[in-house]
Amino acid sequence: MIGAAAGHSNPALTRYEGPDRTRRSTCGSALNPNSPLNVPLAIRNLISELGLRYRPTSQTDLSAHAGALALLGRDLADMPPDLLSRAIEKWVTSSPFMPKASDLIGIAKSLAQRTPKFADGETLADRYNRRLTNDPAARLDIRWCQDGDNLWLDWTR
């Protein structure tokens, strides 16, 4: 029995295929450098600092805390770092709890709404969208939109 010989009780984990008996891959695709899983260094640093500010209690699983921070970083990967930094600063001065991505996005939207057009007529949304198109790790399913002073992230799913 292959499963028992390999030390696994689940035979599906030890199923071999082909004449060379190589294990079937459990990965659906190869690593993609344009994947949304790639988080820019500036965003990772901001999220890491946030994780230090909201340290887990002694009862909290540290790997779960690290996983939550990784997901938060992935959710906020396309936000401009300067805007995210300001949103984090505002959050940590008003809440004793770790924020969710929606909390920081809401604060960032309110901060960005107060930002005027630039001297060359370019809107903040234009500038942020240009950053997204120039970043090879940027998500392709989102874009910044602006209507007057209102700025928001729009995504297609």
**Helix, strand, coil share (%) of the chain residues, nearest 5:** 45, 10, 45
Q: What is the pLDDT along the chain (157 residues), one digit of tens a residue?
A: 444 444 545 544 444 444 555 444 444 444 454 454 588 999 999 999 999 998 887 777 888 888 899 999 999 998 989 899 999 999 999 999 999 999 999 999 888 766 555 656 677 888 888 888 888 877 778 888 887 667 788 876 5
CB 81, CB 46: distance < 8 Å:
yes
Q: Record the pTM.
A: 0.52
